[in-house]
Amino acid sequence: MIAPASSPKLPSSSFIDPKALMSIRNLELRARVVVEGFWSGIHRSPYHGFSAEFTEYRQYTPDDDLRHLDWRVFARTDRFFIKKFEDETNLRCHLLADQSRSMSYGSVGYTKAEYATTLAATLAYFIYLQGDAVGLLTFDEQVREYLPARHRTGHLRHLMLALEKPAAGRATDVGAPLKRIVELVRKRGLMVLISDFLAPLDRLDQNLSALAACGHEVLIIQVLDPAELNFDFKHPAVFEDVESGRTLFIDPGSARKEYLRKMEVHREALRAMCQRLGISWQSLATDHGLDLALFDFLRERMQRRNRAQRFSRVRHMQSKALA
């Protein structure tokens, strides 16, 4: 295999060298290395419960529990309002890891699948350390492994084992696992979908929107090899599709430009879809440090949380003004 030159666009500014990290055979240990130094934080629950922190008022509708009526507001305004509080619960996170054949490609010494597995393990470990429930669903063209989100002793161990199972599938079909997860997970939570998304995006839109409609917070992490991003092969050769086995004679000199254009169009289409559906999207090259990936994840989460807090604050002020 001809190794492409490493991408100049994505310099690795990580504290942990991904290559060195990948040389650690134990997945849990790899996750632990990455997560080291991060302190557990508090995640806001997407569920509105009745706890200490008030979030908003809602107009009373019949069948609402009368216990939650704000009688004071009723006294002042002569209208019924239900008082809502922010439920401070544990995070329920599901990691959806693509283990199709296309993920077995890698030009930097390890494959995309290894990188994605490590990333999933890191996130799982991190979330577990925070005391939140974490679940796993691995898939190729169909769902392979499913572990519901839990936080109990030994669960992380099961999760690591499930992640370490070798992939058997050929093709990628993101649609099937998304449908399945919608059926399986009724409670809202965080869905982290890790895949290369090197497949037509026709039905992805529909499935993602179904997932988002269920109230889940969805985060998409697209894992790509630097060679896939740059296509910096030097010599013409016969290229074999790792999934279908189809071969093509490719002269990179003449094919690169068109390839990059098509790849960019594809990525842009995915990004635009995510934006439209309110889904977070992150693209990671496999030479990108995993600690940085974790950092990006947290930053994304923070931004999202801030957005949510701002939104809830505005709503709170509105309700206060109403009160």
Q: Under the criterion CB under 8 A, does residue 269 sit at the interface with another protein?
A: no
Is residue 198 a contact partner of residue 172, using CB atoms and an 8 Å limit? yes
Per CB under 8 A, the list member of 9, 25, 152, 246 interacting with another protein is: 246
* Minimum distance, C-beta of residue 262 to another protein, in the bound complex (Å): 4
C-alpha to C-alpha distance for 306 and 300, rounded to whole angstroms:
10
Q: Under the criterion CB under 8 A, does residue 248 sit at the interface with another protein?
A: yes
User: Whose Cβ is closer to another protein: residue 32's or residue 170's?
Assistant: 170
Stretch that binds another protein, among 22-30, 37-45, 240-248, 314-322 (CB under 8 A): 240-248
Per CB under 8 A, the list member of 262, 276, 299, 313 interacting with another protein is: 262
Q: Under the criterion CB under 8 A, does residue 36 sit at the interface with another protein?
A: no
User: Whose Cβ is closer to another protein: residue 112's or residue 155's?
Assistant: 112
* Minimum distance, C-beta of residue 18 to another protein, in the bound complex (Å): 18
Per CB under 8 A, the list member of 150, 266, 305, 315 interacting with another protein is: 266
Residue 15: what residue type?
F
Stretch that binds another protein, among 10-18, 147-155, 260-268, 304-312 (CB under 8 A): 260-268
Per CB under 8 A, the list member of 9, 186, 235, 321 interacting with another protein is: 235
* Minimum distance, C-beta of residue 112 to another protein, in the bound complex (Å): 7
Is residue 18 a contact partner of residue 24, using CB atoms and an 8 Å limit? no
User: Whose Cβ is closer to another protein: residue 64's or residue 258's?
Assistant: 258
C-alpha to C-alpha distance for 2 and 15, rounded to whole angstroms:
28
Is residue 308 a contact partner of residue 53, using CB atoms and an 8 Å limit? no
* Minimum distance, C-beta of residue 272 to another protein, in the bound complex (Å): 18
CA-CA-CA-CA torsion sign (191, 125, 297, 242): negative
205 backbone dihedrals φ, ψ, rounded to 5°: -55, -50
Estimate the crossing angle of helix 27-35 against helix 112-129, to 10 degrees. 60
Residues 173-212, one symbol each (x = binds another protein by CB under 8 A, - = not), give: -----------------------x-xxx------------
Distance of CA 323 to the CA centre of its chain: 39
* Minimum distance, C-beta of residue 108 to another protein, in the bound complex (Å): 13
Distance of CA 167 to the CA centre of its chain: 20
* 3-state secondary structure string across 103-152: HHCCCCCCCHHHHHHHHHHHHHHHHHHCCCEEEEEEECCCEEEEEEEECC
Residues in binding contact with another protein, number by CB under 8 A: 37
List strands edge to edge, sheet with 143-150: 143-150, 133-139, 92-98, 190-195, 217-224, 280-285
User: Whose Cβ is closer to another protein: residue 7's or residue 280's?
Assistant: 7
Give the Cα-Cα-Cα angle 263, 104, 280 (nearest 5 degrees). Answer: 50
User: Whose Cβ is closer to another protein: residue 39's or residue 249's?
Assistant: 249
Within residues 205-234, the interface with another protein by CB under 8 A covers 225, 227-228, 233
- Beta-carbon count within 10 A of 48 CB: 14
Please report, as ranges, the residues that interact with another protein according to CB under 8 A: 1-2, 102-103, 105, 112, 196, 198-200, 225, 227-228, 233, 235-244, 246-251, 254-255, 258-259, 262-263, 266
